[in-house]
Amino acid sequence: MRFLSIVLALALVVLGLGAKARPLAAQSDCITIEDFAKAKVGEFPSDWKVRKDAGKTVYSVHEEGGKRFLHGAAKDIGIQAAKQFETWDLEQYPMLAWSWRPVEFPAGADERTKKKNDSALAVYAVFPHSPVTVKSVKYIWSGVVPKGTHLSDSKGLTQVRVLETGTTKKGEWVEERVNVRDDYKKYFGDGEVPKPAGIAVLTDADDTKSSAQGDYANFRVCRAGS
């Protein structure tokens, strides 16, 4: 993945979104951001955005056993899909939770190497930075990079944390829960955390010139400890 161009693209996607998010219900321990329940199966979700229309061919809503999710299928391409929500209060809801499932890992990928930086699954928490750039904490499922590894890309604008590693759970849904507020402070060293602009996902295979597939479901923001 070409880091600087990707960050600039993500800025255009997230900062350029025009839809207004609904206020969060403050009494709940977790708030659903996206469960794809209202999205049309087989189509790109209408309330998500991509930088290029080609991204709409990468991501589509699927359904299995009554569960709807976003399926990413990339071949020689790397384009994020992003969703804005502007009422995410990190002090009240510092946790980001979701489930994901790796389907196909890009051949030869290694996120530690610039020319092999592809992933079956990646989730971003995105923060405004400048009129044309964003900061983001990126969570990935890597085929080879050890779990817990921290990487820094895009001239420091993207901080990467490996949440899962290996291919033994290919085809299995795994639930994730991360403290975005604490990760932002840890990786960027900022005392004050800006209000998030939204989330994004990336299933990509452009650097390895291969193919990758992965699924995403049930995005929520939650209170700490919930």
Task: For residue 80, give the amino acid letter.
Answer: Q
pLDDT tens for each residue of the chain, 226 residues long? 444 444 445 554 554 544 444 444 445 899 999 999 999 999 999 999 998 999 999 999 999 999 999 999 999 999 999 999 888 999 999 999 999 999 999 999 999 999 999 999 999 999 999 888 899 999 999 999 999 999 998 888 999 999 999 999 999 999 999 999 999 999 999 778 999 999 999 999 999 999 999 999 999 999 998 6
| Rounded (5°) CA angle 6-10-12 | 120
Containing H/E element for 201? strand 198-201
Cα 212 → chain centroid: 15
Q: Confirm if 120 and 104 have CB atoms less than 8 A apart.
A: yes
Cα 37 → chain centroid: 19
3-state secondary structure of 213: strand
Pairwise CA distance, residues 122 & 8, whole Å: 17
Pairwise CA distance, residues 35 & 70, whole Å: 9
Q: Confirm if 68 and 43 have CB atoms less than 8 A apart.
A: no
Q: Sign of torsion, CA 141 142 146 152?
A: negative
3-state secondary structure of 24: coil
Q: What is the CA radius of gyration of the chain?
A: 16
CATH number of the domain located at residue range(s) 3-222 in this protein: 2.60.120.260
